[in-house]
Structure 1
């Protein structure tokens, strides 16, 4: 199984590259979170880990063609997994998890593995990693500090309430508190205090 995961990881790295707010560094953190939460929640790792590795595979296509990456990513993942002869019984569940992982997904996650992937992806948008990614994202879109702060309020501060698993809620509580402390410190510095 680890050999298959390594094959998938290498493929995803070749598509996404290492850096960026949705690069391979993000995928690795989400995969680690999925491993941690999946173990605690007794998930099927043969579904969860490939879904985590492939969840953003279509980000470059979304960026260039405007196609929602969760929908195109599910299609690409199915095709790719069949090309490497991954267990056919797991492919529909992997694609379903990818299709429903996004904050703005039209469909809600239906399986435990899909719920864990959704939680892990949201958790990587919170805490210290989430803060770093938010400023990277703002810069990638030509924005600055004000754009990043708007993103905190539009999305990040809402994520803690959207967790599906007990493990996700526990981790989110700590990361949400860190976001609040950071925003308070940033606001204080920007007002010239301290």
Structure 2
């Protein structure tokens, strides 16, 4: 996607590109929560944000910076990547004199559906929705099995994860635009699960 289709202000574009370069430095390798995840969430945020009338500059920055501490959590260095990402984002944006730091920080802190705080702004709700959407649909299926591969888990464990988490996500969306996308992606996951269960049982 071309970001210029969503962000028309040159100063905003320059700021967002700086944030993108800054975020990339935190990811040494790809994986279920690598920089490719950041980019997909970023793209989803702009699509949803345009539909929902959000501040796209705030949303873009929050999306790019929301998981920068995830590698630190994966290594056991920090307990909560959302809180740590928000701290790092605050310092980074503060060094640039950015005036809407609190809006970006809140969205980052509130993006995890399983932990507080609850998202209060439309930008925070969209980021949370986009992050959940990236766990549903074809991408969601791929990420579940990538994660299982990374941790030596079998197909049956992966199917259990679908039941315990992935299939519940569509009911946790905040925005109308995300709910529509979630329903479509959810149906794909349901069909995939039915198909793989048949193949596991040896049905023709």
Q: Provide the TM-score with structure 2 as the length reference.
A: 0.91
Q: Is it true that 1:141 corresponds to 2:151 in the alignment?
A: yes
Root-mean-square deviation (CA, aligned residues, Å) is: 1.1
Counterpart among 129, 134, 137 of residue 139 in structure 2: 129
Match of 1:55 in 2: 66
Aligned residue-pair number: 192
Report if aligned partners of 1:17, 1:24 keep a CA contact under 8 Å in 2. no
SS of structure 1 residue aligned to 2:117? coil
Match of 1:27 in 2: 38
Alignment deviations for residues 157-194 of structure 1 (CA, whole Å, 9 cap, x no partner): 00000000000000000000000000000000000012
- What aligned pairs does 1:61-72 form with structure 2 within 5 A after superposition? 61-64=72-75, 65-72=77-84
Evaluate the alpha carbon distance shift between residue 22 and residue 86 of structure 1 in structure 2; reply closer, same or farther with a 3 A threshold: farther
Q: Give every structure 1 segment of 4 or more consecutive aligned residues whose post-TM-superposition deviation is greater than 2 Å.
A: none
Match of 1:39 in 2: 50
Q: Provide the TM-score with structure 1 as the length reference.
A: 0.95
SS of structure 2 residue aligned to 1:146? helix
CA–CA distance in 1 between the matches of 2:22 and 2:150?
A: 24
SS of structure 1 residue aligned to 2:38? helix
Q: CA deviation at 1:147?
A: 2.1
Q: CA deviation at 1:18?
A: 5.6
- What aligned pairs does 1:1-194 form with structure 2 within 5 A after superposition? 1-17=12-28, 19-64=30-75, 65-83=77-95, 85-88=96-99, 90-194=100-204
CA–CA distance in 2 between the matches of 1:167 and 1:186?
A: 29
Report if aligned partners of 1:21, 1:136 keep a CA contact under 8 Å in 2. yes
